[in-house]
Amino acid sequence: MIPVVDGHNDALLRAWRTGVSLRDRGDDGHLDVPRMRDGGIAAGFFAIFVPAEDEEPADPRSRVRATDDGYEVPMEGPVPFERAARIADETAAIAERDLFLVRSVGDLKRCLAGEETGAILHFEGAEPIEPGLGNLETWVGRGLRSIGIVWSRPNAFGHGVPFRFPGTPDTGPGLTAQGFELVHACNELGVMLDVAHLNEAGFFDVVLLSSAPIVASHCGVHALCPIPRSLTDAQLDAIRDSGGLVGVVFDSAMTRADADLRPDTPLDVVIGHIEYVAERIGVEHVALGSDFDGCTPPHALDDATKVPALLDALAARGWGDDDLRALGHRNWLRVLAATWR
């Protein structure tokens, strides 16, 4: 089985809300350590995300509002730093309790060799970071190795894209002055920067500012799914030119041409995004970024144990072993080796 590094999951949010242990095999959600092992996921980026509300909405579709040509999901405003800091601390404590935290390329190689099942600690939205960056080094000392500058709402550092169909990522201004400082500080500390959820202006600010490869951890292709969360061809080209990568998301609403949330979506829809990225910018710049526990994937990918089915389907379409290993983990290993200190 080819080992996989998965670019994004929200299992920590599920554990924070429900109290489950990620060390144990669960009946709910998409991912835990036993299911990672069964699915060949050697390591994954585990997101610390600060929700606007403690409880999961009973029906996520209840927030969707129809427009003349599609739909939109109204977004909340900025989350206060005090709330973000508290929830991040509580969520990180779960990760420290349940997971083997990957702090170095050497740790990641141990996971790829089957010695551990690893978690790369990631902020999905930089709200837990003080705007003056006073606590950034403390978080790095705690094991933080990746920061998504924004989620799909504004914060002190930049502006996220809305959930809307159809739409483009050209939705507002670029990074704030604090966002510029965050990019420089992450480069100096060897923390990966993730441009998923960032609007177009902010994306190109990162391209100009960052000395590290540009990473979009869990995204689709705008040409195939025209929503603001998807990457345009110009963005894909910039990621290639930086030596970065795109982790292709499994979510049906971020991969289907109609952006509908449908678990009966064929596996070929996700494969279409993988192959588009590989053909446009090279197989060395595409990876996997499932968004497990934060999305509605196709039935064929609705559990971490099913990831081998995706690699098998690609092999059946002519992908060779070297390309599958690049997709599965080698591209992540290359980018992280160029980024982490």
CATH number at residue 251: 3.20.20.140
Confidence of residue 60 (pLDDT cuts 50, 70, 90): low
Annotate 220-245 with b (16+ C-beta within 10 A) or e (fewer): bbbebbbbbbbbbeebbebbbebebb
User: Cα separation of 153 and 311, whole Å?
Assistant: 34
Nearest residue to 52 (alpha-carbon basis) of 78, 33, 73, 71: 78
Q: In this predicted model, what pLDDT tens digit does every residue of 215-225 receive, in sequence order? A: 999 999 999 99
Q: What is the pLDDT of residue 58?
A: 57
Judge contact between 240 and 269, C-beta under 8 A.
no
Annotate 81-117 with b (16+ C-beta within 10 A) or e (fewer): beebbebbeebbebbeebbbbbbeeebbbbbbeeebb
User: Cα separation of 157 and 291, whole Å?
Assistant: 23
Q: In this predicted model, what pLDDT tens digit does every residue of 166-211 receive, in sequence order? A: 999 999 999 999 999 999 999 999 999 999 999 999 999 999 999 9
Helix, strand, coil shares, percent, the chain, to 5? 40, 15, 45
User: Cα separation of 207 and 94, whole Å?
Assistant: 33
Is 82's pLDDT higher than 90?
A: yes
Confidence of residue 62 (pLDDT cuts 50, 70, 90): low
Q: In this predicted model, what pLDDT tens digit does every residue of 287-304 receive, in sequence order? A: 999 999 999 999 999 999
Q: What is the pLDDT of residue 50?
A: 97
Query: pTM score, two decimals?
Result: 0.97
- Which domain covers residue 62, as residue numbers? 4-339
> Which long-range CB contacts under 8 A does 72-76 form with residues at least 24 apart?
72/162, 72/163, 72/164, 72/165, 72/167, 73/162, 73/163, 73/164, 75/152, 75/153, 75/160, 75/162, 75/163, 76/52, 76/153
Average pLDDT, the chain: 96
Side chain identity, residue 70? G
Of 3-12, 66-75, 241-250, 332-341, which range is least confident?
Answer: 66-75
Measured on CA atoms in the order 36, 41, 43, 49, is the torsion positive or negative? negative
User: Cα separation of 94 and 12, whole Å?
Assistant: 7
Percent above pLDDT 90 for the chain: 93
Q: In this predicted model, what pLDDT tens digit does every residue of 92-122 receive, in sequence order? A: 999 999 999 999 999 999 999 999 999 999 9
Confidence of residue 63 (pLDDT cuts 50, 70, 90): confident
Q: In this structure, what DSSP letter does residue 310 have?
A: H
Total count of domains within the chain: 1
Q: What are phi and psi of 123, to 5 degrees?
A: -95, 120
Q: What is the pLDDT of residue 261?
A: 94
Judge contact between 227 and 200, C-beta under 8 A.
no
Nearest residue to 163 (alpha-carbon basis) of 83, 244, 80, 76: 76
Rg over CA atoms, the chain? 18
Side chain identity, residue 133? L
Judge contact between 148 and 154, C-beta under 8 A.
no
Confidence of residue 59 (pLDDT cuts 50, 70, 90): low
Q: What is the pLDDT of residue 193?
A: 98
Is 212's pLDDT higher than 70?
A: yes
User: Greater confidence, 77 or 294?
Assistant: 294
Q: What is the mean pLDDT of residues 54-64?
A: 70
